[in-house]
């Protein structure tokens, strides 16, 4: 068999590298002032799949959508034969069976304790409806095997990306940072939204209007994310967020899997 020439080998490796990058989600990256651990590759479409915060690369999903693709997102249109919900899922559908009044809250029970997250349905109703629908198993999503299912997406998953002093990221059914629910929802960057404190609950994405299932919780202020990431809630107590962000990591991945045992939605 004839050996490949050096130029051919170089081209082959370049193509393989490019394909590898396309398989991951974009993630928000830490600001230049963020911890040294989070260095230049970023949260957006890297590891948190959905632009998560972090400068290191997290699994990215795909390229940012084109203008025409963004228009499809805005119109909630979905190709025939794909999303059973056709891109439409309301807050009313998501909260079916819950009391009609009271602040919506998500209790996230982890292997290191419980987070209680107040959801901003008045500021980001599409995002909150999507999160609740996935958490309760009411919003159809595409499982890793390619089948569309209606079951709680977050239960049993992990926080796959941790950057102390920046954020913790989870919500990927694959646990790699490259997973998505099979559809996207638009950004909801509401007036006055500011990534200005620990505990804020935000959507990860791979570019404009490409939010899905992955989310991250800030461990500190990250104002450089203000224009590109939807804030849809606030989690506490601070001590619980800090404990999750402080686990030992290998790069950005917890040494010991940090599990999301269950997400429960209720009103208070």
Q: Domain residues of the chain, as ranges?
A: 91-267
Give Cα separations from 76 to 43, 73, 137, 196, 265 (angstroms).
26, 5, 20, 30, 25
- Summarize pLDDT for 83-97 with one digit per residue, the tens: 999 999 999 999 999
Question: What is the distance between the alpha carbons of residues 207 and 184, in angstroms, rounded to a whole number?
Answer: 11
Residues 206, 185: contact at Cβ < 8 Å?
no
Tens-place pLDDT, residues 159-202: 999 999 999 999 999 999 999 999 999 999 999 999 999 999 99
pLDDT computed for residue 254 by the predictor: 98
Residue 67 has pLDDT above 50, yes or no: no
The fourth-level CATH superfamily of domain 91-267 is Cyclophilin-like (2.40.100.10)
Please tell me whether the overall predicted TM-score, pTM, comes out greater than 0.85 for this model: no
Which pLDDT does position 49 carry in this prediction?
37
Give residue 27's pLDDT. 60
Find out whether 53 and 28 touch, Cβ atoms under 8 Å. yes
Tell me the percentage of the chain whose pLDDT exceeds 90.
69
Provide the sign of the torsion angle of the four alpha carbons 259, 112, 28, 76, taken in this order: positive
Q: What is the secondary structure of the chain as a DSSP string? A: -PPPPHHHHHHHHHHHHHHHHHTS-EE----TTS-TTS-TTBTEETSSSSS-S-BS-----SPPPPHHHHHHHHTT---TTS-TTTT---HHHHTTTS-SSS-EEEEEEETTEEEEEEE-TTT-HHHHHHHHHHHHT-S-EE-TTS-EE-S-SSTTEEEEEEETTTEEEE--TTSSS----SS-B-----TT----STTEEEE--SSTT-B-S-EEEESS--GGGTTTS-EEEEEE-HHHHHHHHTS-EETTEESS--EEEEEEEEE-
């Amino acid at each position: 068999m004839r050996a490949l020439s050096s130029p051919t080998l170089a081209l082959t490796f370049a193509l393989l590298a490019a394909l590898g990058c396309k398989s991951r989600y974009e993630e928000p990256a830490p600001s230049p002032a963020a911890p040294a651990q989070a260095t230049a590759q970023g949260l957006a479409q890297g590891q948190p799949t959905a632009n998560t915060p972090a400068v290191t690369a997290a699994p990215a999903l795909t390229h940012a959508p084109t203008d025409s693709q963004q228009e499809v997102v805005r119109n909630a249109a979905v190709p025939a034969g794909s999303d059973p919900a056709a891109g439409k899922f309301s807050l009313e559908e998501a909260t079916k069976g819950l009391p009609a009044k009271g602040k919506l809250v998500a209790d996230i029970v982890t292997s290191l304790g419980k987070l209680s997250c107040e959801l901003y349905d008045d500021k980001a109703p599409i995002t909150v409806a999507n999160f609740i629908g996935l958490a309760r198993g009411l919003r159809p999503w595409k499982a890793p095997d390619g089948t569309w299912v209606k079951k709680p997406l977050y239960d049993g998953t992990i926080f796959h990306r941790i950057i102390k002093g920046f954020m913790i990221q989870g919500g990927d059914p694959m646990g790699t940072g490259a997973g998505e629910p099979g559809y996207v929802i638009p950004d909801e960057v509401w007036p006055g939204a500011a990534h200005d404190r620990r505990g804020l609950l935000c959507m990860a994405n791979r570019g404009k209007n490409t939010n899905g299932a992955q989310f991250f919780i800030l461990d500190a202020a990250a104002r450089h994310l203000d224009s590109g990431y939807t804030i849809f809630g606030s989690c506490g107590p601070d001590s619980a967020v800090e404990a999750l962000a402080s686990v030992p990591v290998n790069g950005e991945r917890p040494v010991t899997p940090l599990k999301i045992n269950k997400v429960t939605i209720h009103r208070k």
